[in-house]
Amino acid sequence: MNNTQKSTDDILSAIKDLMEGNETPLKSDDIPLPDDVLELTKPITEDVLDLTTPIETNPIENKSEVLELNQMIDENMNVVELTTHVENNILEEIDENLIRSMVKNKLKKSLENKIDIIIKEELNTLISDRISLSELSLKSKVLKN
Domain positions in the chain: 2-40, 63-92, 105-144
The pLDDT of residue 19 is: 76
101, 94 contact by CB (below 8 A): no
Chain segment 44-98, per-residue pLDDT in tens: 665 555 556 555 555 555 555 676 777 778 778 888 787 877 777 766 667 778 8
pTM for this model (two decimals): 0.29
Report CA torsion sign: 8, 12, 13, 17.
positive
**Own/partner long-range contacts of 15-24 (Cβ < 8 Å, ≥24 apart):** 15/40, 15/41
List phi, psi (to 5°) of 16: -60, -45
70, 81 contact by CB (below 8 A): yes
